[in-house]
Amino acid sequence: MALRTKLLLNTLAISLLSACASDAATTTSTVAATTMPATTMTTTAAPTTIAPTTTMTPTTSVLFDFSDPSSATGWFNQNDTVMGGVSDSASAWVDGHLVFSGNLSLDNNGGFTSTFGPINEQLPALMSGGNAIVVTARGDSQTYLMQIRNSDNTRYIQRFTTVADSEQSYILPIADFVSVDWRLSPIAGAAPMDIANVVQIGFYLLDKQVGLFEIAISSISADAV
């Protein structure tokens, strides 16, 4: 009886030890399962913004293009013969150019020749985007005078000296045009030219540049330069 009791006690002790071992394993497993998992950091590159490419295009508005014979229609000449002089000139279309040519004489108190384009009320709109007039022409080393006339008959002038036998573009800033009277004498204190009133463009040869002359104009434009 004592032996049987002893065996039962041993069996019970072994069972208790096994249960304790099992609980310990379960606890260990649970702790391991609740351990914070490792975190993988993923870096996302910031988006790249590409600035748009801007192409700067000069503003050019053609006022007169003499590529066609009809483009010379309406141009006319006025010489010192109106005051007794003997200078003469003509304007004609030749091979894509308006050719202003003639002979300047100082005889009989003369001394000027000129050519003028037709009245054009569209000129203000065409010139609105520019700050200079560009005359593209083949010259003869003479100095020519460009005149711009407004609807109220006020006049503004600017001179440019040409290169002989070479087509060049001559830039005449609008701010540099000078107000003059009908004799082409400067008017002190006059208001600057207002392109909103421009109606006519013309050219003179004067300044005692006697003899034969010729300028061949291929185009006249208003430019933002």
Question: In this model, does residue 39 exceed pLDDT 60?
Answer: no
CATH code of the domain covering residue 144: 2.60.120.430
Instruction: Give the pLDDT of residue 59.
Output: 77
Question: In this model, does residue 31 exceed pLDDT 90?
Answer: no
Residue 118 in any domain: the answer is: yes
pLDDT one-digit tens code per residue, 76-98: 999 999 999 999 999 999 999 99
pLDDT one-digit tens code per residue, 55-77: 334 578 999 999 999 999 999 99
Instruction: Give the pLDDT of residue 188.
Output: 96
Place of tokens 């975190």: 39
Residue 81 in any domain: the answer is: yes
Residue 27 in any domain: the answer is: no
| DSSP, residue by residue, the chain | -HHHHHHHHHHHHHHHHHHHHHHHHHHHHHHHHTSPPP----PPPPPPPPPPP------EEEEEETTSGGGGTT-EEEEGGGGT---EEEEEEETTEEEEEEEE--GGG---EEEEPPP-TTHHHHHTT-SEEEEEEEB-S-EEEEEEEETTS-EEEEEEEPPBTSEEEEEEEGGG-EEE-TT--B-TTPPPP-GGGEEEEEEEE-TT--EEEEEEEEEEEEE--
pLDDT one-digit tens code per residue, 173-196: 999 999 999 999 999 999 999 999
| pTM (predicted TM-score) | 0.74
- What total number of domains does the chain contain? 1
Residue 20 in any domain: the answer is: no
Higher pLDDT, 44 or 129: 129
Residue 153 in any domain: the answer is: yes
Q: Which domain holds residue 183?
A: 60-223
Residue 199 to residues 76, 150, 159, 218, Cα–Cα distance (Å): 15, 5, 19, 20
Question: In this model, does residue 24 exceed pLDDT 70?
Answer: no
Instruction: Give the pLDDT of residue 16.
Output: 41
Residue 158 in any domain: the answer is: yes
Residue 113 in any domain: the answer is: yes
Instruction: Give the pLDDT of residue 58.
Output: 57
pLDDT one-digit tens code per residue, 119-147: 999 999 999 989 999 999 999 999 999 99
